Amino acid sequence: AEGAAAVVTLAGGVGSRWTQGAGVVKALHPYCKLAGRHRTFIETHLAKSRRIGRICGRPIPHIFTTSYLTQQPIESYLAAEHRYGYPGPLILSPGRAVGLRLVPMARDLRFAWEEMPQQLLDEQAQKLRDSLHAALIEWARQAGEGSDYTDNLPLQCLHPVGHWFEIPNMFRNGVLARLLEENPSLRYLMVHNIDTLGTDLDPALLGLHIESGAAMTVEVITRRIEDRGGGLARVDGRLRLLEGLALPREEDEFALSYYNANTFWIDIDQLLAVFGLSRKDLSDEEKVTSAVRALAARMPTYITLKDVKKRWGHGQEDVFPVTQWEKLWGDMTALPELSCRYVAVPRLRGQNLKDQAQLDGWLRDGSAAYVESICEWS
pLDDT at 320: 94
Write the DSSP assignment of 110-141 as a string of letters.
HIIIIIS------HHHHHHHHHHHHHHHHHHH
Q: Tell me how crowded residue 366 is: count the other CB atoms within 10 A of its CB.
A: 12
The pLDDT confidence band at residue 6, using thresholds 50, 70 and 90, is very high
> Does the predicted TM-score (pTM) go above 0.75?
yes
Task: Mention every residue, 6+ apart, whose C-beta is less than 8 A from residue 328.
Answer: 162, 163, 164, 243, 299, 302
Going by the DSSP 8-state scheme, the letter that residue 65 receives in this structure is E
The pLDDT confidence band at residue 264, using thresholds 50, 70 and 90, is very high
Is position 315 within any domain? no
pLDDT at 253: 85
- Domain span holding position 113: 106-143
The pLDDT confidence band at residue 1, using thresholds 50, 70 and 90, is low
- Mean pLDDT, residues 259-269 taken together: 96
Do residue 116 and residue 164 come from a single domain? no
Is position 311 within any domain? no
Q: Taking 90 as the threshold, does the pLDDT of residue 160 lie above it?
A: no
Do residue 167 and residue 284 come from a single domain? yes
φ/ψ (deg, to 5) at 115: -105, -25
Which residue type sits at 266?
A: I
pLDDT at 244: 86
Q: What is the pLDDT of residues 217-243, one digit of tens each?
A: 999 999 887 777 789 999 999 999 999
Do residue 46 and residue 124 come from a single domain? no
φ/ψ (deg, to 5) at 176: -65, -40
Helices 41-56 and 71-80, packing angle to 10 deg: 60
Which of the residue ranges 32-41, 109-118, 329-338 would you say has the lowest mean pLDDT? 109-118
DSSP SS3 for 377: coil
Q: Taking 70 as the threshold, does the pLDDT of residue 289 lie above it?
A: yes
Do residue 24 and residue 136 come from a single domain? no
Do residue 114 and residue 93 come from a single domain? no
Give the end of a domain, one of 120, 143, 166.
Answer: 143
pLDDT at 324: 93
The pLDDT confidence band at residue 282, using thresholds 50, 70 and 90, is very high
Do residue 284 and residue 341 come from a single domain? yes
Do residue 267 and residue 135 come from a single domain? no
Say how many domains are in the chain. Answer: 2
Bridge partners of 9, per DSSP, are: 64, 192
- Here the CATH number for the domain that contains residue 16 is 3.90.550.10
Strands (E), 82-215: 90-93, 99-100, 158-159, 188-193
CA 368 – CA 44 distance, rounded (Å): 11
Do residue 169 and residue 81 come from a single domain? yes
